[in-house]
Structure 1
Amino acid sequence: MKMNPRGMYAIYRFEIARAARTWLQSVVSPVVTTSLYFVVFGAAIGSRVEQVQGIPYGAFIVPGLIMLMLLTQSVTNASFGIFFPRFTGNIYEVLSAPVSYLEVVIGYVGAAATKSLILGLIILITAHLFVDLPIQHPFLMLFFLVLTAITFSLFGFIVGIWAQDFEQLQIVPLLLIIPLTFLGGTFYSLDVLPEFWQTVSLFNPVVYLVSGFRWSFFEVSDVPILVSLGMTFLFMLLCLALVWWIFRTGYRLKS
């Protein structure tokens, strides 16, 4: 199958340009919100909880906060990116253009992942203004950032196709992603939970993302790093399978 890189890049560039036009909402707002988390949790709670797993509390929560922002922004960017063409009817022009379904997905998901990665790196730099933040495995940290951004941008793409109105579009980030992230070890270690709740937490997929990402910083985690990587890849494969099914059946794209 012959690829159409110009068509794919056109979709990608349009989505990136849309974020640039709304940079206050797309960039400044997430960075300010995450910085407030640093101040409230890092300073206020950190003054009472000095260390977690031998790490200063202010530094301990940084990977979880970056992951919180990365997950929510990846899902939001990708879901809005595909929902608006469906809402306005422009999706039919995209589907009738000489671009394959794969190129459509790469364009939308690639743009959403790029925006999330840029935000993640900005917040990582911002975190150094608040705490001393060592990174034991920088390449693994970047790999986790890229893998998570792509995976949850795929998930957001699915949400954007599933949603029939703006209310449904916001249900998943507000009622699923954010609660799971807060309960996924963002602000605490699973070791502080009773044994029963430690077991229950292992059914939360965000635990593996936060734990693996934190290991790349401090070499401490709640679950083994290979398990974290394996669960992340598994979720990405599930999202890819769903995207394939959507284009195979035309679910909410052709009607």
Structure 2
Amino acid sequence: MKFQLGTIFDDTVTVFWGEWLDLRARVVQIAATGLVSPLIYIIAFGLGLGSAVDQAMKPSAGDNYLEFILPGMVALSSMAISFGGTTFSICGDRLFSKTFEELLLLPVHPLALYLGKMFAGILRGVMTAGSVILVAVLFTGKIASFLNPLFLLILVLNCAVFAGIGVLVGLRVKSLESVGLYNNFLIVPMSFLGGTFFDPKTLPFFLKVIVFILPLTYTSLGLRAAAYSPLAEFPWFVIPILLVSAIVLAFMGANQFSHQQD
């Protein structure tokens, strides 16, 4: 068992290193790619609509509506890039360069293949989220709110979940048009319904049930609480939910890799 775990670890590092060699030449591009949409949302909703919202009510977290949505923007950007970057990376190898078959022929454990791809997705998401965090710090001046261990832990777990979904989608789709369908029917709705712009606790029960099915909702709640709330009020349930989701996806991804044929 110990030998197998060591082998999986070594194989995971090998697969991840291959991904890193490709990513390191595009660090700035990756960090900036996911910044555009959150920055537009911050300006339109946080600065534009935010002034009207602040006059009508006080947000449940943060001093104003802009501060309220900033953790949600971090969640949104890390979700989009972790999923999209991982999916398109695998699709590119499978459908265009035709190099994915070589990866499947390697004497590497299927779980290591999944973990290597997933960790690369985490790195993409964290790099992009780092740009949004920088914007959040510049707007609020609250460095400790966005750069604390609990905030970063939830961010990494969120990237792990959506990079894992990206791996599964990338392995299963037959064309880039299919990726667009997943993006339109999964990622885009979750961007607006995942608690990024509102507090899910204020919704009617039947809508609350739908919203709390989405993993991004737990990320938004966790990041917002980690940024602004006392530790005693932190919703600790978000960590096991995201962690279990990531573990389940890992088993699904390893199973998919073990049966993958291209």
Question: TM-score, structure 1 length as denominator?
Answer: 0.86
Task: Describe the superposition over 1:195-221 as per-residue Cα deviations: whole angstroms up to 9, x where unpaired.
Answer: 44234422333222211121111128x
Q: Is the contact between residue 68 and residue 178 of structure 1 (CA under 8 Å) also seen in structure 2?
A: no
Which of residues 45, 49, 61 in structure 2 aligns to 1:45? 49
Number of aligned positions between the proteins: 251
> What amino acid sits opposite 1:68 in the alignment?
L
Corresponding position: 1:194 with 2:208: no
242, 245, 253: which one pairs with 1:235? 245
Which residue of 2 is the match for residue 225 of structure 1?
Answer: 235
SS at match of 1:135: helix
The CA RMSD measured in Å over matched residues stands at 2.6
Match of 2:98 in 1: 89
Q: How many angstroms apart in 1 are the aligned matches of 2:164 and 2:201?
A: 31
Report if the CA contact (8 A) 1:12-1:110 is conserved: yes
Q: Does 1:63 align with 2:63?
A: no
State whether structure 2 residue 147 is matched by structure 1 residue 147.
Answer: no
> Larger % of helix: which?
2
Counterpart secondary structure, 1:145: helix
The structure 2 residue matched to 1:116, chosen from 125, 137, 143, is 125
For the 8 Å contact 2:31–2:130, the answer to whether it is kept is no
For the pair 1:101 / 2:105, whether they are aligned, the reply is: no
Is contact 2:50–2:66 with CA below 8 Å preserved after alignment?
yes
Q: Deviations over 1:146-181 (max 9, x none)?
A: 111112111110010011100112222232122123
2:203 & 2:218 partners in 1: Cα distance?
A: 16
Amino acid corresponding to residue 208 of structure 2 in structure 1:
Q
Q: Answer with 99-108 or 165-174: which moved more.
A: 99-108
Q: Is the 8 A contact 1:66 1:123 kept in 2?
A: yes
Deviation at 1:19, TM superposition (A): 3.5
Quote the Cα distance in structure 2 between the aligned partners of 1:67 and 1:35. Answer: 13
- For 2:75 and 2:121, the matched residues in 1 are separated by 15
Provide structure 1 residue ranges, at least 5 long, that are not aligned to the other structure.
none
Is the 8 Å Cα contact of residues 118 and 163 (structure 2) preserved in structure 1? yes
Deviations 1:44-93 (A, max 9, x none): 11111113115211101011111011111111121122222222331221
Give the equivalent residue in structure 2 for 1:169.
179
1:29 equivalent in alignment to 2:33: yes
* Deviation at residue 246 of structure 1 after TM alignment: 1.1
- For residues 136 and 113 of structure 1, the distance between their equivalents in structure 2, rounded to whole angstroms, comes to 18
Separation (CA, whole Å) in 2 of partners of 1:102 and 1:205: 22
Contact 2:137 2:146 in 1 (8 A): no
Aligned partner letter, 1:46: G
Report the more deviating stretch, 201-210 or 10-19: 10-19
For the structure 1 residues 96 and 214, does the alpha-carbon distance in structure 2 shift closer, same or farther, using more than 3 Å as the test? same
